[in-house]
Structure 1
Amino acid sequence: MSETLAPSQELLLEWLQPVQDPEMLTSLVDLGLIYNIFLDGDAATVKMTLTTPACPSAGYLMQQVKNRLLEHPAVNKADVQLVFEPKWDPATMASDEVKDKLGIW
């Protein structure tokens, strides 16, 4: 009998890599907008933020994250929570590639 290992946090983030901010055309993962992601059994929980609290794409982005996770057989339920603490700071949270794109250095 073989035991299936749960996907790692790194793999879960990799699954979310294609989800992009529609205005910046950049991955939410690379922007540093995914604060926490974990799997408990087959239920994924994501804590994410937005580039601005008034982001008009909030609902769309949250649904894209949920849909992306539910495409994978290891995930049968996905809870996407929007948080604003800590405040998003691209200088400390975004990837080097995004910082370069935004002119942050």
Structure 2
Amino acid sequence: MYGHTHGYGRESIALQREVNVVNIPEGTPGTLPAGHIVTLYQSLGGNFTVTTEWGYMVRIAGEDADALGKEPPALGNLANGTDPGTVERNAWEILKTIFDPEIPVNIVDLGLVYHCGVRPREDGLNDVHILMTLTAPGCGMGPVLQYDAEAAVKNLPGVGDVRVEVVFDPPWSRDRMSEVAKLQLGMI
């Protein structure tokens, strides 16, 4: 069964308060008024993708879950420790909680993350450098996904500076997707 926590449950919800949204795929900000009826399209990676009464698709951030009458999502399988190896494992783990709002597959399984490097600093923190791409160069959600990746990794224990670079060389192709992603999208 497709529940209300992930996947494609078509649940209609009246917003409990005005809420900030990001329009998909343009990536432009906006707001929806209290009482507006939205239809939940996807709630993966801590954000909610909904369609509005007018048929537009928008994203509502996890910290605004209360506007939908939902709980903010909890983070799962993070290891304890702040050594570079643990920070790198946790960075990959947290990147798996970030989803392209239009595709029910995380950015790691989609093959959008090319590199995640960790460099220890003298103060005991670690700098993280991430190279990622987008499914299409003109994707308006690029800066949003880039921000999500940076914010998620920055909140990990032991992390100092985070730099997320979006690159288009090599270009993304379906070959970069994991078997899991291909299965989820019905491509196998």
**TM-score calculated relative to the size of structure 2:** 0.50
* Secondary structure in 2 matching 1:80: strand
CA-based RMSD of the aligned residues comes to 1.5
1:83 and 2:167 matched:
yes
Once the two structures are superposed, residues 3-52 of structure 1 have per-residue CA deviations (whole angstroms, 9 ceiling, x without a partner) of x6313544421121101111103200110100000111211000000000
Moved more, 93-102 or 27-36: 93-102
Give the secondary-structure state (helix, strand or coil) at the position aligned to 2:109.
helix
Report the equivalent of 1:16.
95
- TM-score normalised by structure 1 residue count: 0.86
| Cα deviation digits, residues 29-82 of structure 1 (max 9, x gap) | 110100000111211000000000011101100000000101112112100001
Instruction: Report 1 or 2 for greater relative contact order, CA contacts < 8 Å, sequence distance ≥ 6.
Output: 1
Range 7-16 or range 53-62, more displaced: 7-16
Letter in 1 for 2:155: E
How many residue pairs align between the two structures?
A: 101
8 Å Cα contact 2:83/2:158 also seen in 1: no
Distance 1:7 1:62 in 2: 23
Residue aligning to 2:157: 73
Question: Following the alignment from structure 1 to structure 2, what is the Cα–Cα distance between the partners of residues 74 and 5?
Answer: 7
Q: 2:107 aligns with which of 6, 23, 28?
A: 28
For structure 1, the residue ranges without an aligned partner over 5 or more in a row are none
Q: For residue 14 of structure 1, what is the amino acid of its counterpart?
A: E
> Secondary structure of 1:44's match?
strand
- Which structure is higher in helix share? 1
> What CA distance in whole angstroms lies between the structure 2 residues aligned with 1:76 and 1:10?
15
Asked if residue 43 in structure 1 is aligned to residue 43 in structure 2, the reply is: no
SS of corresponding position for 2:148: helix
Q: Which amino acid aligns with 1:104?
A: M
Larger Rg: 2
More strand by share: 2
Hey, what does 2:180 align to over in structure 1? 97
Identity of aligned residues (%): 30
